Amino acid sequence: MVIHNADRRMQIYGALLLLPAAVLLGTFAYLPTVATLINSFFLPGFRGAPPEFVGLENYAMLVEDRTFWRVARNNLIYALGTIPTSIALALGMALFVNARLPGRGLVRMAYFTPTILPMIAAANIWMFFYAPQIGLFNKLLGALGMSGINWLGDPGVALTSVIAMTVWKEAGFFMIFYLAALQSIPPELEEASVLEGTSRWSFFWRVTFPLLMPTTLFVLINALINAVRVVDHLFILTKGGPNNATNLLLYYVYENAFSFFDRTYAATITVVILLVLAVVATLKFTVLDRRTHYQ
Amino acid sequence: MSPFPGHPGNEHAMHDDKHNHQRIRLEAVSKAWSGQTAVERISFEVAPGEFVILLGPSGCGKSTTLRMIAGLEQASAGRIHIGERDVTDLPPGDRGISMVFQSYALFPHLSVADNIVFGLRSRKVPRAERQERLTRVARLVDLEAYLARKPAQLSGGQRQRVALARAIISEHPICLMDEPLSNLDARLRGEMRREIKALQRRLGMTVIYVTHDQVEAMSMGDRVILMEAGCIVQDGTPGELYNRPATAFAASFIGSPAMNLVALSAAADGAVIDGEPHCSIASHEAKGHLLGVRPEDIAILPIEAPGVPGEVIDAEYLGADSIVRLKVGSQELRARIDGVPEVGAGSPCRLQWPPSAAHFFSTGDGQRLALQGYDLAAGPGRLAQKQSMHRNEARTSPTQAGNDSPGVNR
């Protein structure tokens, strides 16, 4: 009986320790998620009228919404354009600055600088790079005798321009994770394989890359989340234009909620985004986790 | 640079046999990092099939020497030959050597089998042969049941075996081992010592083995190269290192407990242990230098016997034997005697050791001196005579006069 009581006390103690985190998560993550889901089944009530329950009508509307599909396709291109490139670049940079090279502290810092810049500031810098007349890129092209490109104004180029900036900003951030992981790999592993005549290329694919898999998985999930989380630099650079060429999902949600004041439609898109993200993340974890070695 | 005149390092006339491709030769090899010298002009030669130990305290340059032979470290000066080839500038993979690391350096994401055949895959050995060699080596090191496991699921000794298997399977004639047993517990270490030695004999491998553990050096090595501060101190068989240490450092490094090193001062009849003027232990040339006596060579006798007068400080009973601390003059000695000591703390006694057990080292550079000790078991008449003759000369001792307290003499 005494033991039973002590056991119970421990359980309460443990639950109390979890409580602050649980409250925060519940209030700011799960409650809004549920509220969003409920909202997506209503039409907004205008002029003080109560919201009207419409079931799945919002979802039906979404399927019909050509702008939504355009935005979703944009976002897919954006994700495919940014995730592999920034991860490959991050890994390359990490391998580079992990080697013995003079002034590597400086190089590491230089690579990391874009990450510590606030998104708005970074976007403003890139505005100057991309500006049609006075921009850096067009000045450089002009110096080479080529005509300038309207980097953000041409619907065919604008999304690529946004992707380039994102890669620039994210690669340094992911590099830090790779660098930390690389430094936890004991140098004897490379020595042992060098003694057997293993080439650097072969060592990378047979040892380094597999040992970096936990990091790659982590970075992959983060990159995916970041890819659907873009609002701020679209706000500065293009506002989703021209003609929705650079409009991405979350920005579309923002537009619906705060420009068109259609909160419930915004909630519907949010639910779809959440579902897609959950499915992709689960897939990634189940497929990649099996091949990942955790130390 | 070896202090040994008879050192084989520069004898080029030695290569004759058919195993010449296994002979390792270092010629005046140095390593310096930005002005800091780690290894200074060391030369030695390792014959095929030999088990050579690089022994020394940490920081003496033994691991650096090994890594230079492996090619993991570039020599700053000097040449390294393996057989007829000058390998000084060759990459590690082309030197035909395998290596066992202190940390084992196993690939944590690969199974035991994949770890073992890692090098064979790098060298594009066909799959069937790989499998065949794996089976053979796994049986040799007793790992057959663990081939599918990951290194994290193995015990320390098993991991050690995987590292060994990886070195053996490459079938390189030369294997370098960098403190391979230091991560194991004492019992396992003894077991693996015998196992490695047996494997080496059976496969006829040439092994260079780095350790700071004199027990490993003495029990495994055909030859021991003792290093200190980047230089070779002594290069010889374990027996030579034990019986004829080349320097005071070598004397103090080998043996447990270490060899007693005591200062000698002058007396009329010869050199005496500092502060103990009655019993001379060697001729006059030894004065001012160091006497080395192994604890196991000292016999503790009752006060009536001839020998060096001393006093027991304390005794440490270890089971099979005991370590007795003794005070002789101003010096302290340790003796290792069988069983339980019969003398209690504070009791006076006489010490004896055979003349051949007395080693003499220069106080300046620590080099061994070619001197003979007196026979301490000689008749008490001579001793008594000596005692009466030189009773008053204790205070004239030229060295360490401050420590010279006549009060302790009896």
B122: nearest CA in chain A? A198
Please indicate, yes or no, if residue A177 is contained in any of the structural domains. Answer: yes
pTM: 0.75
Contact predicate A86/A223, CB 8 Å? yes
Question: Digits of tens for pLDDT over chain B (410 positions)?
Answer: 334 343 443 333 344 444 556 788 888 888 888 878 888 888 998 988 899 999 988 888 888 999 999 989 888 888 998 888 888 888 888 888 999 998 889 999 999 999 999 988 888 888 998 999 999 888 888 888 898 889 988 888 889 889 989 988 988 889 999 988 888 888 888 888 888 888 888 888 899 999 998 888 888 889 999 998 888 989 989 888 888 888 888 888 888 888 888 888 887 777 888 877 777 777 777 778 888 889 888 888 888 888 888 888 888 888 888 889 988 888 888 988 888 877 777 888 888 888 888 888 888 788 888 777 777 776 444 444 444 444 444 433 343 333 333 333 33
- Are the Cβ atoms of A198 and B91 closer than 8 angstroms? no
B70, B107, B122: residue with CB nearest A202 = B122
**Which DSSP helix (H) or strand (E) runs through B77?**
strand B77-82
CATH for B153: 3.40.50.300
Do A46 and A190 reside in the same domain of the chain? yes
- Are the Cβ atoms of A194 and B94 closer than 8 angstroms? no
Task: Read off φ and ψ for residue B140, nearest 5 degrees.
Answer: -60, -40
B92, B101, B123: residue with CB nearest A194 = B92
Please indicate, yes or no, if residue B268 is contained in any of the structural domains. Answer: yes
Could you give the C-alpha distances from B199 to A66, A196, B207, B217, in angstroms and in order? 75, 21, 11, 16
Do A217 and A281 reside in the same domain of the chain? yes
- Rounded Cα gap, residues A199 and A254, in angstroms: 51
Q: What share of chain B is helix, strand, coil (3-state, %, to 5)?
A: 30, 30, 40
- Rounded Cα gap, residues B336 and B257, in angstroms: 8
Do A130 and A219 reside in the same domain of the chain? yes
The residue out of B211, B233, B253 marking a domain boundary is B253
Residue A196: its chain B contacts at CB < 8 A? 93, 98, 118-119, 122-123, 170
- Are the Cβ atoms of A194 and B72 closer than 8 angstroms? yes
Residue of B72, B171, B176 to mutate, testing the A interface (most A Cβ within 10 Å of its Cβ): B72
Residue B97: its chain A contacts at CB < 8 A? 195
Q: State which residues form the domain around B390.
A: 260-408
CATH for A108: 1.10.3720.10
- Are the Cβ atoms of A189 and B105 closer than 8 angstroms? yes
**Which DSSP helix (H) or strand (E) runs through B31?**
strand B24-33
Question: How is residue B253 written in tokens?
Answer: 């490094």
Amino acid at residue number B205: M
Residue B98: its chain A contacts at CB < 8 A? 195-196
Do B216 and B300 reside in the same domain of the chain? no
B178: nearest CA in chain A? A188
The residue out of B232, B253, B274 marking a domain boundary is B253
Smallest Cα distance from B113 to chain A, Å? 14
B107: nearest CA in chain A? A189
- Rounded Cα gap, residues A207 and B78, in angstroms: 34
Task: Read off φ and ψ for residue B46, nearest 5 degrees.
Answer: -120, 125
Please indicate, yes or no, if residue B16 is contained in any of the structural domains. Answer: yes
Do B200 and B152 reside in the same domain of the chain? yes
- Are the Cβ atoms of A196 and B97 closer than 8 angstroms? no
Do A148 and A91 reside in the same domain of the chain? yes
Q: What ipTM did this prediction achieve?
A: 0.74
List, in sequence order, every residue forming a beta bridge with B232; answer none if it has no partner. Answer: B227
Do A82 and A95 reside in the same domain of the chain? yes
Contact predicate A217/A174, CB 8 Å? no
Task: Read off φ and ψ for residue B361, nearest 5 degrees.
Answer: -130, 145
Please indicate, yes or no, if residue B2 is contained in any of the structural domains. Answer: no
Smallest Cα distance from A190 to chain B, Å? 9
Please indicate, yes or no, if residue A271 is contained in any of the structural domains. Answer: yes
Q: State which residues form the domain around A32.
A: 1-38
Please indicate, yes or no, if residue B231 is contained in any of the structural domains. Answer: yes
Do A210 and A135 reside in the same domain of the chain? yes
Do B139 and B53 reside in the same domain of the chain? yes
- Are the Cβ atoms of A195 and B108 closer than 8 angstroms? no
Total domains in the fold of chain B = 2
Smallest Cα distance from B72 to chain A, Å? 7
Do A94 and A196 reside in the same domain of the chain? yes
